[in-house]
Structure 1
Amino acid sequence: MSQGRDHRPHRVVVLALDGLLPFELGIPHRIFGRPKDARGRHLYEVVTCSIRPPGPVRTDADFSITVEHGPEALATADTVVIPASYELGPVFEEGVLTDDLAAALAHLRPGTRLASICTGVYVLAAAGLLDGRPATTHWAEADHLQQLFPKIDVDPDVLFIDDGDILTSAGVAAGLDLCLHMVRRDHGTAVANEVARRTVVPPHRDGGQAQYIERPVPDPQQAGTTTARAWALGRLHQPIQLRDMAAQEAMSVRSFTRRFREETGVSPGQWLTQQRVERARHLLETTSLSVDQIARDAGFGTAQSMRQHLQAALGVTPTAYRRTFRTENTATIGGGSESHGGVGALR
């Protein structure tokens, strides 16, 4: 995505299907509709289309919405977002596209970035776009998705998956996480964080959707792991042992590890790595510290260790990440200004 002298906002086209969830339909408009550049110009343009000529589209609520664009709008998209629908019919039941949906998707240009929210992933799967690739969806549908499309590597635990040109998210509110991630990927952490603040949602949620799966209600007197996480966040620059985190909650390592995964969806080690990656990203974007210093401050110890972790998490080196996002450019949201870098396809 580029913003040259002839400013053209990145066009996000949201595909509204019958049976859609109004909340999910509104997520892309809310998140992508906020960021502006230093001159007050929107960084994104968001339009909604259906697979039919302009007209009403049913929702899962007691009202319909009127969509003003037909499927030809997909041909103008830089990014297409497909929210969930409860009326996917053969797409959900048999894994095949309907004729009108296939005709609509034929408008897509090569290289268009594609994203799905919740069961919107079934559309991408039925189109054969996820074969051999990782994807996620709402945890309640993950097994069904895997059985219907065995060529897909379904991960039921994460909030979203970024596989470069195709991104998929878990259910409902995970669409917020996904869209914020795309803003962060396009324009850096500062811009995404400001969008999150304006939307009154966390800029980044810890763990995965495993923490939301229905489980037996725990003993109210059973200790949690909040204190240990807060303790660790204040000491990311230091070596942190699992037994030290467990000690903050007066728990055995075994009990602490089990409870930690129940609450966050990931292991303590995975969580620590995630926090250190986020810390490194922030420092790379907002400071002129050397890579060696950032590696120490983020708790990776050495530049080589940080390079390996950033490469695994983002698909780029620390130097490449800084070059992409730490520039003198600014973006504004709601009248304020925030520094941000250029844009790139981080993986």
Structure 2
Amino acid sequence: MSVIAVLALDGVPAHQLTTPGLVFGRAARDHPHIDYEVRICAGPGLTATAGPAPLRIGAPWGPEGTRDADTVLVTGHDGFRAEPPAEVTAALRAAAARGCRIGAIGTGTFTLAATGLLDGRRATTGWRHIEELAALHPRVTVDPLGTVVADGPYLTSAGIFGGMDVCLRLLALDHGEQRAGETSRELITPLEADADRVRRTIDRELARSSGLEPVLRWMEDRLHLPLTRADIADRAGISVSSLDRRFRDRTGVSPSRYLLNARLERARRLLTETDEPVELIAGRTGFPSAASLRHHFTGLTGMTPRAYRTAHRTG
């Protein structure tokens, strides 16, 4: 049996506590030879999940629950910018010393980085906190485009589904890509039967409340096209100035920056998941030339597209 210790601090997002049990439990139910124990280990001061609807919680384990774990997962939490409690730092360093795998979900990367274990290694976190992670922990090489970044025994993740991504990656390492793929499909595809109906309903409600999600999806479907702010504003049914304001409120960046980030993320995925040449990827992601893609990609990651592809596939 493989022991997964989920190390949580106060203000942990509730879904980050439940996702490991969901993924590893699903895999074990479908495949009798797969066996995991998932432990929720409370860091000092853990009392509730994050808002806006916090739940008071308790856990059967403290940091000592990590001592014999095969894998430790560090969740995000409200106080991620602060120095972690001494007990948490000690538990993570002890786990690393015995060769344990350690994963960090979202802003949990800040906690792991504060221990010094990520110094000289690549890591990622949610895109809103990429620049902050790089500033607070300059010895960490921050990958702004990574979904799951693996460097040695450390895995870090970005995005709201980062916990699921990390757990599926660990499952693949333990039992192969086929088992991880089957588990992923079991967890996600049952929703597809009603997906179109649900999406239409959501789009209508969001349109009534001036939400941006429908137009964001519209942009994602058209990354290969030369979209302008005026095009996006027209699709959203608002003025360009209103579009700028709502984009900054909703995403923290301008429409143009959001579009560039989305194109670079699509390019990153194509680089790591396909053998398509850079010239073709540039066209598929809306860049006027391979040189334009290289310019923006290198400016954001510090690596050319080809170097990024090589590093990902050999790392």
TM over 0.5: yes
Map residues 215-294 of structure 1 onto 2, 5 A cutoff: 224=222, 262-263=262-263, 265-267=265-267, 271=270, 274-276=273-275
The answer to whether the 8 Å contact 1:57/1:67 transfers is: no
2:132 paired with 1:144: yes
Deviation at 1:221, TM superposition (A): 9.6
Could you tell me the percent identity over the aligned residues? 33
Q: Secondary structure at the match of 2:26?
A: coil
Which residue of 26, 40, 43 corresponds with 1:34? 26
Question: For 2:55 and 2:220, how far apart are their aligned partners in 1?
Answer: 44
2:176 paired with 1:183: no
The answer to whether the 8 Å contact 1:71/1:107 transfers is: no
Which residue of 66, 70, 91 corresponds with 1:78? 70
Which residue of 97, 106, 111 corresponds with 1:118? 106
* More divergent stretch after superposition (172-181 vs 76-85): 172-181
Question: For 1:17 and 1:221, how far apart are their aligned partners in 2?
Answer: 36
- Greater relative CO, 1 or 2 (CA 8 Å, sep 6+): 1
Q: Residue by residue, what CA displacement relative to the aligned partner does 1:295-347 show, whole Å, maximum 9, x if unpaired?
A: xxxxxxxxxxxxx99975444xxxxxxxxxxxxxxxxxxxxxxxxxxxxxxx4
Deviation at 1:178, TM superposition (A): 2.0
Question: For 1:168 and 1:141, how far apart are their aligned partners in 2?
Answer: 13
Question: For 1:221 and 1:18, how far apart are their aligned partners in 2?
Answer: 36
* More divergent stretch after superposition (56-65 vs 183-192): 56-65
Deviation at 1:98, TM superposition (A): 2.6
Question: For 1:222 and 1:165, how far apart are their aligned partners in 2?
Answer: 33
Map residues 53-72 of structure 1 onto 2, 5 A cutoff: 57-60=47-50, 61-72=53-64
Deviation at 1:73, TM superposition (A): 1.0
The unaligned stretches of length 5 or more in structure 1 are: 1-8, 203-213, 228-257, 278-307, 316-346
Map residues 150-189 of structure 1 onto 2, 5 A cutoff: 150-189=138-177
Deviation at 1:103, TM superposition (A): 4.1
Question: For 2:133 and 2:55, how far apart are their aligned partners in 1?
Answer: 29
Deviation at 1:66, TM superposition (A): 1.7
Measured on the aligned residues, the alpha-carbon RMSD in Å equals: 3.7
Question: For 1:273 and 1:113, how far apart are their aligned partners in 2?
Answer: 23
Map residues 92-111 of structure 1 onto 2, 5 A cutoff: 92-93=81-82, 96-105=83-92, 107-108=94-95, 109-111=97-99
63 and 220 in structure 1: CA distance in 2 versus 1, 3 angstrom threshold: closer
Q: Secondary structure at the match of 1:65?
A: coil
Counterpart residue identity of residue 224, structure 1: R
2:20 paired with 1:22: no
Q: Secondary structure at the match of 2:134?
A: helix
Q: TM-score, normalised by structure 1?
A: 0.57
Deviation at 1:187, TM superposition (A): 1.6
16 and 77 in structure 1: CA distance in 2 versus 1, 3 angstrom threshold: same
Question: For 2:69 and 2:220, how far apart are their aligned partners in 1?
Answer: 50
42 and 189 in structure 1: CA distance in 2 versus 1, 3 angstrom threshold: closer
Q: Secondary structure at the match of 2:133?
A: helix
Counterpart residue identity of residue 270, structure 2: W
Deviation at 1:46, TM superposition (A): 1.1
Question: For 1:97 and 1:159, how far apart are their aligned partners in 2?
Answer: 24
Q: Secondary structure at the match of 1:67?
A: coil
The answer to whether the 8 Å contact 2:8/2:40 transfers is: yes
Counterpart residue identity of residue 25, structure 1: L
Number of positions where the alignment pairs a residue of Structure 1 with one of Structure 2? 228
Question: For 1:197 and 1:125, how far apart are their aligned partners in 2?
Answer: 32
The answer to whether the 8 Å contact 2:73/2:105 transfers is: yes
Deviation at 1:173, TM superposition (A): 1.1
Q: Give the number of the structure whose residues are more often helix, by fraction.
A: 2
Counterpart residue identity of residue 10, structure 1: S
The answer to whether the 8 Å contact 1:33/1:42 transfers is: no
Q: Secondary structure at the match of 1:66?
A: coil
The answer to whether the 8 Å contact 1:19/1:87 transfers is: yes
The answer to whether the 8 Å contact 1:10/1:78 transfers is: yes
Counterpart residue identity of residue 65, structure 2: A
Which residue of 32, 39, 44 corresponds with 2:36? 44
Partner residue, 1:285? none
Deviation at 1:80, TM superposition (A): 0.4
Question: For 2:166 and 2:220, how far apart are their aligned partners in 1?
Answer: 33
Q: Residue by residue, what CA displacement relative to the aligned partner does 1:17-52 show, whole Å, maximum 9, x if unpaired?
A: 111010111111111222249972433221111134
Question: For 2:101 and 2:68, how far apart are their aligned partners in 1?
Answer: 12
